[in-house]
Amino acid sequence: MTVELEWMNVDNLPLPSDVIEILKNRGIIKLNPPQTEAVKKGLLEGKRLLLTSPTGSGKTLIAELGIISFLFKHGGKALYVTPLRALTNEKYLTFKDWEKLGFKVAMTSGDYDTDDAWLKNYDIIVTTYEKLDSLWRHRPSWLNEAQYFVLDELHYINDPERGPVVESVAIRAKRRNLLALSATISNYTVIAKWLNAEPVATNWRPVPLIEGVMYPDKKGYTILFKDNTLKKVYGDDPVIAYTLDSLSRNGQVLVFRNSRKTAELTARKIASYMNFIPLDEKALSDIVNEIDQIEEGGSEEKESLKELISKGVAYHHAGLSKQLRDIIEEGFRQRKIKVIVATPTLAAGVNLPARTVIVGDIYRFNRRIAGFQEEISVMEYKQMSGRAGRPGFDEMGEAIIVVRDKKNIDKIFKKYILSSTEPLESKLGNERAFYTFLLGILSAEGNLSEKELANFAYESLLPKSLVDIYFDRAIQWLSEHSFIREEEGKLILTDFGKRVADLYINPFTADIIRKGLENHRSSCDIAYLHLLAFTPDGPLVSVSKNEEEELMGLIDDLDCDLLIEEPYEEDEYSLYLNALKIALIMKDWIEEVDEDTILGKYNIGSGDLRNFVETMDWLTYSAYQLSRELKLEEHADKLRILNARVKDGIREELLELVQISGIGRKRARLLYNNGIRGLGDIVMNVDKVKSLLGPKLGEKIAQEAARLLNRFY
């Protein structure tokens, strides 16, 4: 289904003049074809719609118009839901525009054990799928006022990790007013029917896209484009050759590689050729200085990036700290940085268009399959190629797939350029996802009969035959493991089951924690950290062959017994060692080992460390809460302290100091080593605190310490 290229004048929209004024202040005089078609299909009347169109086609504005028109007519609250925190922040900043009309805008993500009661005062709430799923489990009264839901990036249903949560949220959201947004999907009619929505599908893009496949040919490389035209470039490396060609035409380039190491290596190679490209050296110097000012990030990665950025190039992957990624993204948006070499996570995370997108690898590594390699999905390619073309700068965007062998051209063309994306299918078809889904429904909806609970499962995208199989297994397992019980024909969460649902942890995670704690007396920090890292919710880290041997040797030398027995299965043993490496990283973290030392010792990035800390903070908190629920006080005391230490990366003696906002592990240690060891010491030695931290910060810290002391006494 393709819409006609009709552009609607915003003056003709049945909206208050204040709304029209905000649009015009953004430079929006007309709605583009997808936006026009959405309005014609009833967007402003609150009709349920599924809109599928390419990246950059203006789906966010469609959501804004849908939300604002609904709130003007019906009041209440509207929720805009995204799969990624980076997108949540981006959309929040966009929606802030509407505060000019009196609508209060808020953003929430993370912190799953809360009902966010403060949100009762807000009209437009931007959040993530996981956070909304968690909020429903806590049943805050304000959430009953939310009658309009925008589900962004709905194609994440196909993501093995996030898909089950996206689908779970959609099942509940489709019972209210709904607008779903997605990149182009092949079975949009099926999904629209599932959502009870009218489909609006278009392939329109603000900047036309040309796609091609690049292959080695004699002394250089030939690009065969979709329209059968050819182009030749020369050089020793195809990615570098086409990058330099695009830069010579005043383009910006996004290169996607399948690993961090390859991305970094490619960025360095490209940088060595940038002497021939005109650059704004003053602007790049400003970015380098900005990197010097931030606290986040390891010294090595900062120095590496500074050297590259001075040449107009950067790499980007999840191993970098958020502050570093933000600086790189902003430098690229402002056209100061000319080339970013990234792993595919960037394609979905932020709005970052470029003249040229080069997909350097159609394979990615997957430890779960033989040979470790699998082809990327068509959807992933579309996400990457969708970044090609900068509105207002480029007449055309170009997406190039690099192949190493001319024989593969036809196959690659058919799969990625000439084919539709994969159909959206349920990812609830495994025990871990399905059992979590049922637990979440019972937590959100309250007591249900088996039939009522099964009806929620039948509303999923899973075939009915699979639901029947998984449902019976789930009820039996959840009952046998004391998550639910039956009473007067209703399925009821036990106190333990409700606490697990509220903590937003997987029931298999909770079961492992319970068994580990109940079967052992209180233990050492490393044993608790290893137990939690071994659960399905634990973080994953790369473990090299050399590290495997070291870790296996280390197990016998530990000062205390681990809470998980050594498994016999090879896959399980790999996870066991993964968990041990995570535990060792976190042990160094809470012993205040310098961050640079941790990054170098374990070969991880600052972004990895931050991710491990956040996940283990959540898991140590959850284990503490479960130990209280299970009346395991000996474990609870240790886990409470461990959680506080993991959060800030400190030894126990600094716990009182880090209560103060603005004092982290480094400042707390500085104060402690100089005799300032608690809140009272700060209040009694204000001049000394000022001399250590500076007059302005010292005064602020002293005031906060006094406030906390008054609260305690």
Residues 6+ apart with CB under 8 A from 24: 10
CA 37 distance to own-chain centroid:
31
The mean pLDDT of the chain is: 93
**Pair of tokens at residue 430:** 């495994």
Q: Are residues 220 and 357 in the same domain?
A: yes
Looking at the domain assignment, is residue 614 inside a domain? yes
Residue 443 sits in a domain whose CATH number is 1.10.10.10
Residue 17 sits in a domain whose CATH number is 3.40.50.300
pLDDT number for residue 567: 85
- Report the pLDDT averaged over residues 481-496: 96
Q: Are residues 453 and 580 in the same domain?
A: no
- Convert the pLDDT of each residue in 312-345 to its tens digit: 999 999 999 999 999 999 999 999 999 999 998 8
- Convert the pLDDT of each residue in 456-479 to its tens digit: 999 999 999 999 999 999 999 999
- Report the pLDDT averaged over residues 231-260: 95
pLDDT number for residue 369: 45
User: Any alpha helices (H) in 556-632, and if so which ranges?
Assistant: 570-590, 595-602, 606-629
Last residue of a domain, one of 503, 527, 559: 503
pLDDT number for residue 367: 55
Looking at the domain assignment, is residue 423 inside a domain? no
Q: Are residues 50 and 95 in the same domain?
A: yes
pLDDT band (50, 70, 90) for residue 1:
very low
Q: Are residues 19 and 126 in the same domain?
A: yes
**Pair of tokens at residue 348:** 């979905």
Q: CA-to-CA distance for 167 and 161, rounded, in angstroms?
A: 11
- Convert the pLDDT of each residue in 531-562 to its tens digit: 999 999 999 999 988 898 888 888 878 888 88
Q: What percent of the chain has pLDDT over 90?
A: 84
- Convert the pLDDT of each residue in 628-665 to its tens digit: 999 999 999 999 999 999 999 999 999 999 999 889 99
Cα 84 to Cα 56, 162, 349, 434, distances in angstroms? 17, 10, 7, 22
Q: Of 272, 290, 347, 280, whose CA–CA distance to 316 is shortest?
A: 347
- Convert the pLDDT of each residue in 508-529 to its tens digit: 999 999 999 999 988 899 999 9
Q: Is the pLDDT at 5 greater than 80, yes or no?
A: no
User: Any alpha helices (H) in 41-150, and if so which ranges?
Assistant: 59-74, 85-95, 129-138
**Pair of tokens at residue 299:** 């010294």
Looking at the domain assignment, is residue 266 inside a domain? yes
Which residue has tokens 């996206």?
Answer: 166
Q: Are residues 513 and 619 in the same domain?
A: yes
DSSP assignment of 616-632: HHHHHHHHHHHHHHTT-
- Lowest-pLDDT range, 327-331, 366-370, 669-673, 695-699? 366-370
Is 293 within any annotated ligand binding site?
Answer: no
Q: Are residues 605 and 663 in the same domain?
A: no
Radius of gyration of the chain (CA): 27
Q: Give 487: exposed, middle or buried? Use CB within 10 Å, 0-12, 13-18, 19+.
A: exposed
Looking at the domain assignment, is residue 240 inside a domain? yes
Looking at the domain assignment, is residue 426 inside a domain? no
Torsion of CA 115, 121, 124, 130, to 10 degrees: -10
Q: Are residues 249 and 376 in the same domain?
A: yes
Last residue of a domain, one of 598, 617, 649: 649
- Report the pLDDT averaged over residues 10-21: 93
pLDDT number for residue 370: 44
Which residue has tokens 């808020």?
Answer: 106
pLDDT number for residue 75: 94
Q: Are residues 408 and 491 in the same domain?
A: no
Q: CA-to-CA distance for 616 and 529, rounded, in angstroms?
A: 8
pLDDT number for residue 3: 43
> For 210, phi and psi rounded to 5 degrees?
-110, 135
Last residue of a domain, one of 649, 669, 702: 649
Q: Are residues 557 and 579 in the same domain?
A: yes
Domains of the chain: total: 5
Q: CA-to-CA distance for 169 and 151, rounded, in angstroms?
A: 9
Q: Are residues 91 and 235 in the same domain?
A: no
pLDDT number for residue 55: 84
Residues 6+ apart with CB under 8 A from 532: 513, 538, 616, 619, 620, 623
- Convert the pLDDT of each residue in 592-613 to its tens digit: 999 999 999 999 999 999 999 9
Looking at the domain assignment, is residue 422 inside a domain? no
Q: Give 628: exposed, middle or buried? Use CB within 10 Å, 0-12, 13-18, 19+.
A: middle
Looking at the domain assignment, is residue 1 inside a domain? no
Residue 684 sits in a domain whose CATH number is 1.10.150.20
Q: Are residues 256 and 274 in the same domain?
A: yes
Question: What residue numbers bound the domain in which 230 lies?
Answer: 209-417
pLDDT number for residue 70: 96
Which residue has tokens 């535990």?
Answer: 583
pLDDT number for residue 570: 77
Looking at the domain assignment, is residue 425 inside a domain? no
